[in-house]
Amino acid sequence: MKKKLDLIFKDEANLEVIESYLYYEKEQVGLGERFINELDQKFIQ
């Protein structure tokens, strides 16, 4: 049985995620959303 762990992002990590999202959205509309969705999927597993 897998144990569920809570994930806590530090402020610096949150800032990196936001900056990455904005970068990807600037490169191609929707790419930032795909990036966030991939992060969500990886951390939900």
Q: Give the pLDDT confidence score for residue 3 in this predicted structure.
A: 65
| Ranges of H-type helices in the chain | 11-27, 31-44
Q: Give the pLDDT confidence score for residue 14 in this predicted structure.
A: 87
pLDDT tens digits for range 5-45: 676 778 888 899 999 999 999 999 999 999 999 998 887 66
Spatial neighbors of 22 by CB under 8 A, at least 6 apart, are 32
Q: Phi/psi zone of residue 9: left (φ > 0), alpha (ψ -120 to 50 degrees), beta?
A: beta
Angle CA 36–25–41, to nearest 5: 10
Q: Give the pLDDT confidence score for residue 5 in this predicted structure.
A: 65
Separation of first and last alpha carbons in the chain: 13
